[in-house]
Amino acid sequence: MTAPTDLTFLAPPGEVADWRMILLCDAAIATGLFDKLPGTVDELAGRTGLRPDSLRVLLDALAGLGVLEAGAHGNFDVGAAAPEPAAMASVRHHARALRRWATAVEPVLRGEAPEGSGITDPETFHDALARNAQKSAPALVDLCLQRFPKARTVLDLGGLHGEYSLEFTRRGLKATMQDMPAMIEVARRRGRLEAAGVDLFEGSFFEAVPDGPFDLAYCSGITHTFDGEHNLMLFKNLRRVVAAGGGVAVVTFLRGRSPVTALFAVQMMVNDNGGDTHTEAEYRAWLTEAGFTVDDTVLDLPGQEARSVLFAT
């Protein structure tokens, strides 16, 4: 058994990783089990402080899924279906989504507030989204620079992990990344962005954005987390800081564009923050009201089923 290529909860229908594997791997990651391999049940229990009887059940289950390999003399080691180290954050983020869906869908349908909200673990959230962005950033930046070849400055809104800012910087642009304080704190602690010359700006997009002017305002992964009123406020704020001849790139999940966008809307629903997978017509209306002219064509990301790009000037 080999590991799935996409361990996120946004894999296309029929390709999503086994939910049992995700939850068991999450437990193994959280308890430090993967770091203590190889070993027998007793050896691993001694290294991790876990209950031997419960640990044996977990090890057998992971071996049955191919995540671990049961060798001679009761020894367990990493198996063919084990997530690679760089994918561990995606597994943990997927497990959090499973728990959230399991407990929040019904209350939200009934008009009740689900228990818990917000980002409870910024580090895991950061790392999970960073892995996805590392794969898509080169193609996305290519599209942006094809549309705005003279761009020299970019405002990366809700940049979080900063992978897009870093990719723009590699192409010679001066990047400024804005996000909420908790996310900027993670970025400052990691140190990669400031070392690469990316300016960091913390605070709500609805209260203030950096003065600019910017040749490009890049919005990836944020507009679907808000309702229409907030997105209109955001685009109006951006209109004031986008330079003449510059524009906006909106990377998002458009409702009705693919089966994955409908599934992603469930994640927005259970977050209970007003977010949704909005339609192309809604984005066009908000951007137009904010003073932008939207390109006629919407681009789907190469090799990705769910996300699309709208450009406006």
Position 118 scores a pLDDT of: 55
Measured in degrees and rounded to the nearest 5, phi and psi for residue 181 equal -55, -40
Task: Give, in degrees to the nearest 5, the angle at Cα 33 between 47 and 36.
Answer: 50
What are the tens digits of pLDDT across the range 8-36?
877 777 788 899 999 999 999 999 999 99
CATH architecture assigned to 1-116: Orthogonal Bundle (1.10)
> Using CA atoms, how far apart are residues 20 and 67, in angstroms rounded to an integer?
11
What's the pLDDT score for residue 119? 58
Helix axes 52-64, 19-30, angle to 10 degrees: 140
The pTM of this model reads 0.85
Would you give per-residue pLDDT tens digits along the chain (313 residues)?
666 677 787 777 778 889 999 999 999 999 999 999 999 999 999 999 999 999 999 999 999 999 999 998 899 999 999 998 888 888 998 999 899 899 999 999 998 888 765 556 666 666 767 677 778 889 999 999 999 999 999 999 987 788 899 999 999 999 999 998 888 988 898 888 999 999 999 999 888 899 989 999 999 988 998 999 999 999 999 999 999 999 999 999 999 888 888 888 888 888 877 888 999 999 999 999 999 999 999 998 866 658 899 999 9
Q: What is the pLDDT of residue 116?
A: 65
What's residue 130's pLDDT? Answer: 67
What tokens does 258 get? 């693919």
Q: Which CATH superfamily is domain 122-312 in?
A: Vaccinia Virus protein VP39 (3.40.50.150)
The pLDDT value recorded for residue 134 is 76
DSSP E strands: which ranges in 76-232? 76-78, 153-157, 174-179, 199-202, 214-220
Instruction: Enumerate the domain spans of the chain.
Output: 1-116, 122-312
Pick the closest to residue 295 from 279, 310, 278, 285 (CA basis): 310
Q: Tell me, what's the pLDDT at 173? A: 97
